[in-house]
Amino acid sequence: MHSLTAKRKEKINPLDVSIVIVSWNTCEILRNCLRSVYEQTHGVSFEVIVIDNSSSDDSAAMVKEKFPKVILIENTENRGFAAANNQGMKIATGRYVLLLNSDTIVLDNAIVRTVTFDDGYPEAAVVGCRVLNPDRTLQKTCFMFPSLLNMFLSSTYLYKLFTKSKFFGREQMTWWDRNDIREVDVATGCFMLVRKEAIQKVGMMDEQFFMYGEETDWCYRFKQAGWKVMFTPVGNIIHYGGVSSSKMAAKMTLQLRGAILQFIAKRYSKGTYILSCILTGTFFSFRIPFWLIKTIVSPRNRLNCWSTVKVYSTGVFRLLRGYKGLLVKADR
């Protein structure tokens, strides 16, 4: 009887937002993230769900001790970003689900402001907010779907030279200052406020994506189903970026490229996929001589340069097996 009454109350008055945070060996930054959530979220009802992906540090113990209100799921293996987020979404009770990276700091009531914004856009499945680097400079979040043109322009690095060009900077929208509301292709996964109704209609993340590419595929599915993906500057967060993946940066270079190819293989024609693999192989090959030269002219950075040479060389050979050759699951 008690559980039935609780379910009835939940239907009548659900929580506003369920905050889902996936963590892998990020104890200290997870502590800071959770502290900011509780200090900077006022005016909405919320719950926090942390999925620990088999961390070898004290992340889970810290959550239990310092944040007893948090719902903690402890995995016995690293299931990846998509699968772990799905675990959290399955038990989430909020009208919205916020996927929040553990290496973020919430500022200025950003969660509440974004929820308020989304309440005014019932056609929006996903909303992203403004993201800052630790020094408070703008981090270029939100981007276009992968395509042959976007991959080519990205691999040339011309977007770094012509940051204000809408053509060269089209994939990452480098020309845009993120100060206005607009519809985008992909909202970056470090902060994704997702409408529960949209999840129920479209489904959760594709767990075939272990790390990277999952939010791109998810946004693609939402848009295919007629929903919008929006960006709003009403709230700000700090994103440190790549704290977990930096522990295995070389592998993650290949993982990122492999995830892009995985998305293209899933969504586009076989011909487009083959050309994308060739373009990626060319991207790797052209960088090998550059980094070899740097090992000679930059003796102080010789070890890092040589490591980069090995990464790109490995990528060329692994591409013979397609995108699966580049995907490297995290150490479990």
249-277 pLDDT, tens per residue?
A: 667 788 899 999 999 999 999 999 999 99
Segment 132-150 shows an average pLDDT of 94
Domain end call among 191, 220, 239: 239
pLDDT for the residue 332? 39
Tell me, yes or no, whether 330 lies in a domain. Answer: no
Tell me, yes or no, whether 166 lies in a domain. Answer: no
> What total of structural domains would you count in the chain?
2
d(CA 14, CA 16): 6
184-223 pLDDT, tens per residue?
A: 999 998 999 999 999 999 999 999 998 889 999 999 999 9
Tell me, yes or no, whether 151 lies in a domain. Answer: no
Q: Are residues 53 and 112 in the same domain?
A: yes
pTM, full prediction: 0.88
Q: Are residues 207 and 312 in the same domain?
A: no
Q: Are residues 138 and 249 in the same domain?
A: no
d(CA 240, CA 202): 30
Query: Which residue did the predictor score with more confidence, 153 or 238?
Result: 238
Q: What is the DSSP code string of 20-40?
A: EEEESS-HHHHHHHHHHHHHS
Domain end call among 239, 259, 280: 239
Q: Are residues 25 and 95 in the same domain?
A: yes
Given a cut of 70, whether residue 83 has pLDDT beyond it is yes
Q: Are residues 93 and 192 in the same domain?
A: yes
Q: Are residues 92 and 187 in the same domain?
A: yes
Question: What is the phi/psi pair of residue 142, to 5°?
Answer: 75, 140
Closest among 27, 78, 73 to 48, alpha carbons compared: 73
Q: Are residues 12 and 86 in the same domain?
A: yes
Tell me, yes or no, whether 301 lies in a domain. Answer: yes
30 — pLDDT class (breaks 50, 70, 90): very high
d(CA 118, CA 116): 6
Structure-token match 């993650």, residue found: 252
Tell me, yes or no, whether 49 lies in a domain. Answer: yes
pLDDT for the residue 245? 47
Query: Which residue did the predictor score with more confidence, 75 or 163?
Result: 75
Q: Are residues 183 and 315 in the same domain?
A: no
10 — pLDDT class (breaks 50, 70, 90): very low
Q: Are residues 129 and 187 in the same domain?
A: yes
Q: Are residues 182 and 212 in the same domain?
A: yes
Q: For residue 21, give its domain range.
A: 2-142+178-239
45-62 pLDDT, tens per residue?
A: 999 999 999 888 889 999
Provide the percentage of residues in the chain whose pLDDT is more than 90: 72
pLDDT for the residue 75? 94
Given a cut of 60, whether residue 243 has pLDDT beyond it is no
Tell me, yes or no, whether 162 lies in a domain. Answer: no
146 — pLDDT class (breaks 50, 70, 90): very high
pLDDT for the residue 307? 87
Strand ranges (DSSP E) for 122-245?
Answer: 124-132, 182-183, 191-195, 228-239
pLDDT for the residue 248? 53
Tell me, yes or no, whether 207 lies in a domain. Answer: yes
Given a cut of 50, whether residue 4 has pLDDT beyond it is no
Q: Are residues 185 and 315 in the same domain?
A: no
Query: Which CATH number fits the domain that encloses residue 187?
Result: 3.90.550.10
Q: Are residues 264 and 207 in the same domain?
A: no
Provide the percentage of residues in the chain whose pLDDT is more than 70: 92
Domain end call among 208, 239, 270: 239
d(CA 117, CA 298): 50
Q: Residues 236, 132: contact at Cβ < 8 Å?
A: yes
Return the number of other C-beta atoms located less than 10 Å from residue 290's C-beta: 12
pLDDT for the residue 184? 97
